[in-house]
Amino acid sequence: MRVFILGVVVLLFSALRTSAAPPDPAVSLWPEPAGHDPWQVSWLVVDHDTALALSASSLVVPVSFQQPDTDVQPVHAAAVQYSDGYQLRKKIHKYASFATLPLFGVEVALGQSLYSDSTRDSRQGLHAAVGVGIVGLFGVNTVTGAWNLFGEGWNDEHGRTLRLIHGLLMMAADAGFVATVATGPNSHSTRQALTFETDKVTHRNIAIASISVATAGYLIMLFGNH
């Protein structure tokens, strides 16, 4: 009986001591589950995938700071291929134009001489012959030049504006030379004799204006290295 009572006292003492000590979760038979708050965000903890994404995005260079692509080649205008006919017309136009200024000089000198002295002599025939030569020269150069300019040469943008200005000036001079021939003074009839002095002035003015326009067009191409 004493032994039984002593055992009960020992058990009670052990139970009281155990209840007084704090429970050890490591040896707990029913550990409490760890609580998780869905509204709590941890700013210091970053998982592996997030860390890789952040490191990759930090390497992206803005477009404005990227180096230009140096492999891109500049675009050049395609070369224009001319036919043999174009080259032949160009040679005729070029070599015929060498006679332009000499013919102008001779014609102006003869015209001024006849303007000051209207006596009929060999100067009138020579003046008319040189005038025919100028009209023929400009006829050939107008055909060859306009054919090349508005034909194959129109596709060549290099120097096209200069050639166009030259061509328009020469065409204007063509019209002026036709008007010069039409207004030539003539004293054969009585009616024309009355207007001879006036016709002479008109003829000279139109001739000088036409020669001036043609000379400007010629010099444009001469100094433009065309």
How far apart are the C-alpha atoms of 112 and 108, rounded to whole Å?
6
* Residue 40: inside a domain: no
pTM of the model: 0.62
| 169, 216 contact by CB (below 8 A) | yes
| 72, 168 contact by CB (below 8 A) | no
How far apart are the C-alpha atoms of 107 and 123, rounded to whole Å?
10
How far apart are the C-alpha atoms of 179 and 203, rounded to whole Å?
8
* Residue 136: inside a domain: yes
Write down the pLDDT at residue 120: 72
Task: Give the chain's residues under pLDDT 50.
Answer: 25-30, 65
* Residue 31: inside a domain: no
Write down the pLDDT at residue 193: 65
How far apart are the C-alpha atoms of 38 and 27, rounded to whole Å?
29
* Residue 25: inside a domain: no
Q: How confident is the model over 26-36, as pLDDT tens digits?
A: 444 445 555 55
Helices 160-182 and 122-149, axial angle in degrees (round to 10): 150
159: closest CA among 93, 94, 220? 220
* Residue 149: inside a domain: yes
* Residue 195: inside a domain: yes
Q: How confident is the model over 97-125, as pLDDT tens digits?
A: 999 999 999 999 999 999 988 777 788 89
Q: How many domains does the chain have?
A: 1
* Residue 114: inside a domain: yes
Which residues span the domain enclosing 192? Answer: 84-223
